[in-house]
Structure 1
Amino acid sequence: MSPAIHLAQQPEADELLGRSPLAALIGMLLDQQIPMEWAFTGPYTIAQRLGGDDLDAAEIAAFDPDAFAEVMKQQPAVHRYPGNMAKRVQVLCQYLVQEYEGDAEAIWRDAETGGELLARLKALPGFGEQKAKIFLALLGKRYGVQPEGWREAAGAYGEEGSYRSAADITGPESLAKVRAHKQEMKQAAKAAKAAKGG
């Protein structure tokens, strides 16, 4: 039974995120410099353009880079920076093929602790510390992937009842709360910068 995911706020795209570990990873990778729903709709758009209803890491990894960039650039584009993100998606898929035989779920399937899982996520191309922690919290809160110490490893993103990130979205209402939190964080960062005279 796939979990009910509401990140794309679009039924078909969310259904794919719920049943495809690779789609969830790619959505997280795309989640930068664009609205979250746009990012998490991306995997579904890619799957449709590749002519299927699922994603295959080996297929994406082996794709001609120019042709894959065109898949991403086709209107409506999958991302604000489709060419750059096409490269990142392919590099991620190539890593999954090399390290996990193309099986995205293998990253977390046998992870025994939150720290171990966080280390695996941080090793993924395109996943820095913050993105890895958010994805760890997303796995724990929405996908039921809860190795020992996962909340601690995810830091503030793992907190119960928080509205900080993609991990906390269960529908339009929580999406609005996460968005408000992000705006507050931006304002605070601007204010701190101004106070420093920077």
Structure 2
Amino acid sequence: MSPEIHLAQQPEADELLGRSPLAALVGMLLDQQVPMEWAFSGPYTVARRMGRDDLDAAEIAAYDPESFAELLKQKPAVHRYPGSMAQRIQTLCRYLVDEYGGDAAAVWRDAPDGAELLARLKALPGFGEQKARIFLALLGKQYGVRPTGWREAAGPYGEAGAHRSAADITGPESLAKVRAHKQEMKRAAKAKKSVKSD
């Protein structure tokens, strides 16, 4: 049974995120400098433009880079920076092919504990510390991937009842709460900056 996902806030895109581990990883990769729903609907858009109903790591890795960039640049663009994101998606897919035989779920399938899973996620191209922790929390909270110590490894993103990130979005109401949290964090960061510059 695929989990019911609401990250894209668009039924077909969310359905793909629920059944495709690679789509979930690509959505997380795209989740920067654009609204969350735009990022997480990206995998569905890419699959459609490739004439597929799912994403295949080996196919994307082998795709002509210029042609793949064009797929992302078509209107509406998949991301604010479609060219560089096309490169990042292909780099991620090449890594998955080389390290996991193209099977995205293998990244977490047999992870013995949260610390090892976090290490595997941080090793993915395009996944820094924060993105890896958020994705680990998303796996635990919504995909049922819960190796021992997963909440601790996810840090604050793993907290139950939190509204900090994509991991906590289960519908429009929680999306609004996560947005409010992010705006509060931005305000706090701005205030800190202005205090330093005074």
> Structure 2 length as normaliser, TM-score?
1.00
1:196 aligns with 2:196: yes
Q: Distance in 2 between matches of 1:80 and 1:97?
A: 27
Task: Quote the residue 2:165 is aligned against.
Answer: 165
Task: Quote the residue 2:183 is aligned against.
Answer: 183
Amino acid at match of 2:138: L
Amino acid at match of 1:159: E
Q: Distance in 2 between matches of 1:10 and 1:178?
A: 18
Q: Distance in 1 between matches of 2:145 and 2:34?
A: 27
Secondary structure of 1:2 counterpart: coil
Secondary structure of 2:197 counterpart: coil
Question: 1:93 Cα shift?
Answer: 0.2
Task: Quote the residue 2:112 is aligned against.
Answer: 112
Q: Distance in 1 between matches of 2:117 and 2:57?
A: 20
Amino acid at match of 1:36: M
Residue-pair matches, total: 198
Amino acid at match of 1:92: L
Task: Quote the residue 2:78 is aligned against.
Answer: 78
> Structure 1 length as normaliser, TM-score?
1.00
Q: Distance in 2 between matches of 1:55 and 1:72?
A: 14
Task: Quote the residue 1:13 is aligned against.
Answer: 13
Question: 1:18 Cα shift?
Answer: 0.1
Residue by residue, what CA displacement relative to the aligned partner does 1:103-144 show, whole Å, maximum 9, x if unpaired?
Answer: 000000000100000000000000000000000000000000
Question: 1:102 Cα shift?
Answer: 0.2
Question: 1:25 Cα shift?
Answer: 0.0
Task: Quote the residue 1:62 is aligned against.
Answer: 62
Q: Distance in 2 between matches of 1:170 and 1:86?
A: 28
Q: Distance in 1 between matches of 2:31 and 2:185?
A: 17
The CA RMSD over aligned residues, in Å, is 0.5
Task: Quote the residue 1:152 is aligned against.
Answer: 152
Unaligned runs of 5+ in 1: none
Question: Percent of aligned positions with the same letter in both sequences?
Answer: 80
Task: Quote the residue 2:93 is aligned against.
Answer: 93
Task: Quote the residue 1:41 is aligned against.
Answer: 41
Question: 1:68 Cα shift?
Answer: 0.2
Question: 1:177 Cα shift?
Answer: 0.1
